[in-house]
Amino acid sequence: SAAKYRERERERDRERERERERERDRERERERHHHKRREAEAASRRSYSSSQSSRAPSIEDDEDGHLIYHHGDILQDRYKVMATLGEGTFGKVVKVKDLQTEHVIALKIIKNVEKYREAAKLEINALDKIAEKDPEGKNLCVKMLDWFDYHGHMCIAFEMLGLSVFDFLKDNNYQPYTLEQVRHISYQLCYAVKFLHDNKMTHTDLKPENILFVDSDYEITYNSKKKRDVRRVKSSDVRLIDFGSATFDHEHHSTIVSTRHYRAPEVILELGWSHPCDVWSIGCIIFELYLGITLFQTHDNREHLAMMERILGTIPYRMARKSKTKYFYHGKLDWDEKSSAGRYVRENCKPLHRYQTVDDDDHRQLFDMISRMLEYDPAERITLAEALRHPFYEKIQTVQRLGSSSTERSHSLSR
């Protein structure tokens, strides 16, 4: 069934995380000295006392480096553990009560492992910059409330949010979002990431897992066409999270960035990247929200490029020629259409416009915008400032519109 197929697709989630880990590890070796400098910057911004040396005997880690904690534990004399919200390669996210404010918040507890500790310091550095530029959080990036080093575990406290747009989709049997929800969610995503770009940062890891609903409460409606109940989120307000890979324009740029499915062609071809690689990821995300399926479902560079050509047409000769990678032969993608992989791509991919489910102005505008975000040449790709002015967003309701003059109005009306 479709749901089973999608579950299978997503079983590869962990695999893609592991693949990315390996890519990152190779990178990290080359980046050691850059990290040292950045670490010093992050550390000096706020003085923190590392309690690594005077570790209390009762504090233990498991074999993977996760902190061992129990319900009711109090960290830093302030944060009372309530429940585990989730975990990743980096560590765990825990629901805690802040005993100073009585608020329930999310605490990201990083593994007691050097490379994750370093990455967390970079994330704190990026979140600090965001807070400095946008103290009120008007630009829809998650708000960092506090951070500290707990016996070698970097901990970052965040405002509590709901499910990710990915988890909501999965829990809803991959029933896609409505066009109006796609419009509102993607508008906010463009707005948040444009703020990063305006402040000389690239997120580099945009994916549905990193876009969280502020509140994922839903109502259940019966879909007569599908003959089943579907969940509809009550409010499509979202926030952007996970700045652990965010890169400042002036910093060293790793060769490989992004989670596989959302990775831009210039990254795969190792041609260098900047803000436009985020725009490509956003195009892939919007497609996924609209259809409930991943646009590029693959784990291999050559197959990924073949899928791009099937969906978006031939990769420009100038990009193929400039790339030092082994994927082209005389400027053409070296791909065997007759192989089983070739058949898989032919049967599972089709030209972009053929994925459009309804032929009206709204849907045509949506696909026009996606196709501009999926322009091969990053120099030709639409910018987020341009995307926010695209006809697709002319229909954004007044209460949902963001920006200097209307922000206050939207907050008063949407509550």
Q: How far is CA 342 from the centre of its chain?
A: 29
- Pairing between β-strand 218-223 and β-strand 91-98 as defined by DSSP bridges: unpaired
Cα separations in angstroms, 248 against 56, 123, 245, 253, 397: 37, 11, 10, 9, 33
Which residue's structure tokens are 């596989």?
260
Give the whole-angstrom CA distance, residue 186 versus residue 224. Answer: 27
Helices and strands (H and E) in the chain: how many: 12, 14
- Contact predicate 382/279, CB 8 Å: yes
Q: Residue 83: count other Cβ atoms within 10 Å of its Cβ.
A: 9
- Eight-class DSSP state of 324: -
- Pairing between β-strand 332-333 and β-strand 238-240 as defined by DSSP bridges: unpaired
- Contact predicate 46/149, CB 8 Å: no
Give the three-class secondary structure for 285. helix
Give the whole-angstrom CA distance, residue 233 versus residue 231. Answer: 6
Give the whole-angstrom CA distance, residue 296 versus residue 139. Answer: 29
What tokens does 6 get? 């999608």
- Contact predicate 107/75, CB 8 Å: yes
**CA Rg, the chain, in Å?**
22
97 labelled as ligand-binding?
no
Give the whole-angstrom CA distance, residue 110 versus residue 202. Answer: 22
Give the whole-angstrom CA distance, residue 237 versus residue 257. Answer: 27
* Residue 369 backbone phi and psi in degrees, to 5: -65, -45
What tokens does 250 get? 């002036």
Q: Is 13 a catalytic residue?
A: no
Give the whole-angstrom CA distance, residue 64 versus residue 80. Answer: 23
Give the whole-angstrom CA distance, residue 251 versus residue 27. Answer: 14
User: Looking at 205, 237, 242, 278, which residue is catalytic?
Assistant: 205
Give the whole-angstrom CA distance, residue 260 versus residue 10. Answer: 13
Catalytic residue positions? 205
Q: Which residues does the annotation place in the binding site?
A: 108
Q: Which residues does the annotation place in the binding site for ATP?
A: 108
